[in-house]
Amino acid sequence: MNQYLDIKEEVAQALREGRPVVALESTIISHGMPYPQNVETALAVEQAVRDGGAVPATVAVIGGRLKAGLTPDEIEYFGKKGPQIAKASRRDLAVLVARGQDGATTVTTTMMIAYMAGIKIFATGGIGGVHRGAETTMDISADLEELAQTPVMVVCAGAKSILDLGLTLEYLETKGVPVLGYQTNELPAFYTRRSGFSVDYRVDSPRELADAFRVQQQLGLKGGMLVTNPIPEEYSMPKELIDAAIEQALAESRAQGIHGKETTPFLLARVAEITGGDSLASNIKLVLNNARLAAETAAEFCKINH
């Protein structure tokens, strides 16, 4: 086991016994929403994983230790500190650990730490991707590179709709990452079920998802698998409304000179303000939906591997 990694005992026991475990990220706690809503949501997502038949493992860096599984007190600590905690992508991990600092894990670092711990399946809200205007800024999320090299299944509600979804799909295709739509042929766009872009394959059950991932691993194929799970119909926002809010937020970010790792938190916060909080409510519902599907898929994966 990695010398810098601490696996929560409940998680370690489930892994030893071949029971299903689902990794969860911590950026949603520190940077995704305000306190105490962030803590309430994190605990609700863990409960959704349990309800789906798996053990939750929220991932973070605390005091320079990589954590696969947090206690309620540690989740509370993250929620209260919020954006004071560094957002930790692959480039940040070594320095944060060396300095004994805290880090909120993105999709990238959650995948990395989950893989170190032996956790195969990870649920999040939406992945990062190719930002609009990337042909001049080269602003492309490290999430896409991680999906190309780390063998973890990521269950999400698509790429965040603040991104260039067409270029994100092209990038994933170039890197050989399969993009599966859960009960849909169309790539969901985070707050809304519609994007106008097609996924590689439609898959209709957790068993099918687990089977595809099992075969990918048995074939020795490098990299992960992306499962896109549309936000439930009743919580989906009208595409025109969310597109208008995103365009306004993007214009404001350009005017204020916001770039790099600050871009996504700024845009998500502004979209929430512009939509009167509707986007935040949708965000919570889609994360819970992804956690349930990831748990059911993890349970099926364990059944066919033992």
> What are the residue ranges in the chain where pLDDT is below 70?
1, 261, 277
Show Cβ contacts of residue 151 under 8 Å, excluding neighbours closer than 6 positions.
115, 120, 216, 217, 222, 223, 224
3-state secondary structure of 70: coil
CATH architecture of 5-305: 3-Layer(aba) Sandwich (3.40)
Rounded to an integer, what distance in angstroms lies between the CA atom of residue 238 and that of residue 135? 28
Rounded to an integer, what distance in angstroms lies between the CA atom of residue 39 and that of residue 55? 18
Rounded to an integer, what distance in angstroms lies between the CA atom of residue 175 and that of residue 24? 24
Residue with token string 């990062």: 128
Q: Where are the domains of the chain?
A: 5-305
Selection from 231, 237, 219 nearest residue 274 by Cα = 237
Selection from 7, 11, 24 nearest residue 78 by Cα = 24
Could you report the per-residue pLDDT of 147-185, keeping only the tens digit for each? 999 999 999 999 877 788 999 999 999 999 999 999 999
Rounded to an integer, what distance in angstroms lies between the CA atom of residue 109 and that of residue 58? 12
Residue 104, by phi and psi: left (phi above 0), alpha (psi -120 to 50) or beta? beta
Q: Report the pLDDT value the prediction gives residue 267, as an integer from 0 to 100.
A: 78
Q: What is the rounded end-to-end Cα distance, in angstroms, of the chain?
A: 22
pTM recorded for the entire structure: 0.93
Q: Report the pLDDT value the prediction gives residue 1, as an integer from 0 to 100.
A: 61
* Helix (H) or strand (E) run with residue 246 in it: helix 239-255
**What residues are labeled active site?**
25, 160
Q: Report the pLDDT value the prediction gives residue 139, as an integer from 0 to 100.
A: 83
